[in-house]
Amino acid sequence: AAAAPHTILGHPDALFVLFFTEMWERFSYYGMRALLVLFLTATTLNGGWGWDIKDAGKLYAWYTGLVYLTPIFGGYLADKVLGLRRAIVIGGLMIAAGHVSMFMETKPTFYLGLSLVVLGTGLFKPNISAIVGQLYGKDNEGGRDSGYTLFYMGVNSGAFFGILLCGYIGEKISWSYGFGLAAVFMILGALQFYFGQGIFGKIGLSLSQAKAEHVPVAEEPPANVVKDRLKAIFTFSFFTIFFWFAFEQAGGSMTIFARDFTDRSLTGSTGTTFKIVNTLITVIPLLILTWLLIKLFFGTAKRYLLSNLLLVSCIAGIWYLTVWMLMREFVNQDSSVPASWFGILNSLFLVVLAPMFSRLWGKYWNPSGPIKFGLGLVMLGLGFACLSYGAAGIPNGAKTAQVSMIWLTLAYLLHTMGELCLSPVGLSYISKLAPPRLLGLMFGVWFLNTFIGNFLAGMTGSYIEQIAHTYSMSTFFLIFTVIPIGAGLVMMLLNKWMHRKMHGIQ
Ligand code: GLN
């Protein structure tokens, strides 16, 4: 497919339609997810269902896992019948319907809602990820990697605002409104994609639509090349399982670490540093997003944005609300950092760092995929090394302790840098390596890694806790230092082999 003629920040302007659509979808996904366990475990007096934490955890694990299993079906359906664009619209509307259904808060509508989100995400997620790559022709391969990195920034802007806002509104105002907010933004996201579709020209049509429009069929490479590239896809996928396994494991253990072991008092210079860092990481993503919006508004996509004025005002509204809330929560009143603050550090760091990584790959240094993947795994391991070192001071058997929160912050930073080397890069490689007629399916395969990784993390979670108890938290973190670093080094050693299997794809 030819690249779209208009560009913003050096990328086809259609990328930004995808950026915002995915941003709203992730807003609803992460926002609702942030509420789920809180809602289920809240007492009935507080409007919850009074579940015990184990059961709530199980439902959460299944829900967040299944969302990454259904893309394999959604991707296939798009390849064979729907086409990428229609799959995105239908998936988006199904997700929105799911959130509306949860908003009603009765038992049957709640489960119906969860199922709709799981199925809708299966249609939406692999196919919106696939269409990004279609914007970049063979003449712009460097652009593709950096384009996916920007897209991934959209993912995390959504996650950041979603966790913050749905969480806040759900907990402080009402659970229903929290779920409802997820619905509103998903509907807006799906609508803006629907109405903005013209910008894609002949990209993302179904087989029959493409035939009717006389779009030339994409050329399939020779069978042996396809086979080798599939091997490369499966190798990338295999190592990605290690990544999400450790990454997901980090989610749980870091929350415990943050809650019980870090010194979160904000006195003296720690307090000042914290306030400065906090203000910076709040303001920088906002500035970046404002910049993008201004560019869009005065750029060639003006037409498209003008027709979405409502959306623009919502974005502005959300920003002010967010800044106001953050200032109130973290700077003026509280004297200690809430544990949930660490949970959103990942998406914050990601939004801040993504443009830099995007430029790095686009302009300065673009090592091959296996090297980037290897680096990603190594950085993930180094993040755990920080935790292991930080936790080394905790006396054996202690239930709480005071460890500087710098270790946790560093770990999140390294984990996020690792994620940026691997996750968006992986999307980009799938789009280059996949045989054109199985594009959606291959993205389904890619998300299957997350399903397997999360599932393994869930299965081994309880053993891990035992290790932490019998030995120490530090030993536990050490295991997760060694596993990803080992996997990362093997991946780098496979560089030459992978290079051959990819047949000219850089
Ligand atoms: N944060 C990413 C997203 O939500 C994670 C995707 C994945 O493959 N695990 O898109």
Which are the contacts of 302, defined by CB distance < 8 A and separation ≥ 6? Answer: 296
**Residue 334 has what pLDDT?**
45
Question: What average pLDDT does range 171-200 have in this prediction?
Answer: 86
For position 332, what pLDDT does the model report? 44
pLDDT confidence of residue 316: 57
The percentage of residues in the chain with a pLDDT greater than 90, rounded to a whole number, is 34
Structure confidence at residue 7 (pLDDT): 67
CA of 424 to the centre of ligand 1 (A): 9
CA of 144 to the centre of ligand 1 (A): 18
State whether the beta carbon of 450 lies less than 6 angstroms from ligand 1: yes
CA 244–ligand 1 middle distance (angstroms): 9
In this predicted structure, the answer to whether residue 441 has a pLDDT above a threshold of 90 is yes
Name which residue sits closest to atom 10 of ligand 1, judged by CA: 155
In this prediction, residue 331 has a pLDDT band, given cuts at 50, 70 and 90, of very low
* Ligand 1 atom with least separation from CA of 29: 4
Answer yes or no: is pLDDT of 301 > 80: no
Span 182-204, average pLDDT: 86
What are the tens digits of pLDDT across the range 347-381?
878 887 887 887 787 778 889 999 999 999 999 99
Whether residue 266 is predicted with pLDDT greater than 60 in this model: the reply is: no
User: Do residues 419 and 247 touch, judged by C-beta distance below 8 A?
Assistant: yes
Distance 423 CA to ligand 1 centre (A): 7
The string of pLDDT tens digits covering residues 387-431 is: 889 888 777 766 666 666 677 778 888 999 999 999 999 999 999
What confidence score (pLDDT) does residue 333 get?
Answer: 43
pLDDT attached to residue 290: 67
One DSSP character per residue, 305-343 reads HHTTHHHHHHHHHHHHHHHHHHIIIIIII-SB--THHHH
Q: Is the pLDDT of residue 131 over 90?
A: yes
| Residue having the nearest C-alpha atom to atom 7 of ligand 1 | 450
What pLDDT is stored for residue 318 in this prediction?
62
For ligand 1, is residue 155 a contact (CB within 6 Å)? yes
Instruction: Say if ligand 1 is within 6 A of residue 244 CB.
Output: yes
Query: DSSP state, 265?
Result: B
Q: What average pLDDT does the chain have?
A: 82
Of 15-24, 44-53, 226-235, 308-317, the least confident: 308-317
pLDDT at position 265 over 60: no
Taking the CA of residue 446 as reference, the ligand 1 atom at the shortest distance is 8
Q: What per-residue confidence (pLDDT) applies to 4?
A: 43
What's the average model confidence in pLDDT over 266-286? 60
CA 156 to ligand 1 center in whole angstroms: 9
Q: How confident is the model at residue 260 (pLDDT cuts 50, 70, 90)?
A: low
Name the range with the highest mean pLDDT among 112-126, 154-168, 251-265: 112-126
pLDDT of residue 414: 93
Q: Ligand 1 centre and the CA of 112: distance in Å?
A: 24
Nearest CA to ligand 1 atom 3: 155
- On the question of pLDDT at 155 being above 50, the answer is yes
How many Å lie between the centroid of ligand 1 and the Cα of residue 30? 10
**Is the shortest distance between the CB of 412 and ligand 1 below 6 Å?**
no
pLDDT of 32 higher than 60 = yes
What pLDDT is stored for residue 313 in this prediction? 55
CB 444 within 8 A of CB 72: yes
Note the pLDDT tens digit of each residue in 57-104.
888 888 888 999 999 999 999 999 999 999 999 999 999 999 999 988
Residue 356's pLDDT is 81
The one-letter code for the residue type at 148 is Y
Q: Is the CB of 26 under 6 A from ligand 1?
A: yes
Q: Which of 237, 288, 253 is nearest to 408 (CA)?
A: 253
Cα distance between residue 262 and residue 259, in whole Å? 7
Candidates 78, 97, 112; CA nearest to 28 is 97
Q: What percent of the chain has pLDDT over 70?
A: 76
Instruction: Looking at the CA of residue 156, tell me the nearest atom of ligand 1.
Output: 1
Rounded distance, CA 486 to CA 264, Å? 33
277 in Cβ contact with 364 (< 8 Å): no
User: In Å, how far from its chain's centre is CA 26?
Assistant: 7
Question: What spacing in Å lies between the alpha carbon of 205 and ligand 1's midpoint?
Answer: 25
pTM of the complete model: 0.85
State the DSSP string of 344-390.
Answer: THHHHHHHHHHHHHHHIIIII----HHHHHHHHHHHHHHHHHHHHHH
Q: What spacing in Å lies between the alpha carbon of 232 and ligand 1's midpoint?
A: 21
261 vs 110: which has the higher pLDDT: 110
With a 6 Å cutoff on the Cβ, whether 451 touches ligand 1 is: no
Q: Determine the average pLDDT of the residues in 223-238.
A: 94
Contact (CB, 8 A) for 435 and 220? yes
State the distance from the centre of ligand 1 to the C-alpha of 148, rounded, in angstroms: 12
pLDDT of residue 472: 78
Least confident of 74-78, 140-144, 266-270, 448-452: 266-270
Pocket perturbation via mutation, ligand 1, pick of 155, 249, 350 by most ligand atoms within 8 A of CB:
155
Phi-psi region of 111 (alpha: psi -120 to 50; beta: other; left: phi over 0): alpha
The residue among 425 and 291 whose pLDDT is bigger is 425
CA atoms of 252 and 403, how far apart (whole Å): 18
Q: Whose CA is nearest to atom 4 of ligand 1?
A: 155
What pLDDT band is residue 241 in, cutting at 50, 70 and 90? very high
Alpha-carbon separation of residue 6 from 2, 14, 17, 156, 301 (angstroms): 12, 8, 13, 25, 8
Q: Check pocket membership of 182 for ligand 1, CB cut-off 6 A.
A: no
The pLDDT assigned to 303 comes to: 55
Whether 271 shows a pLDDT value over 80: the answer reads: no
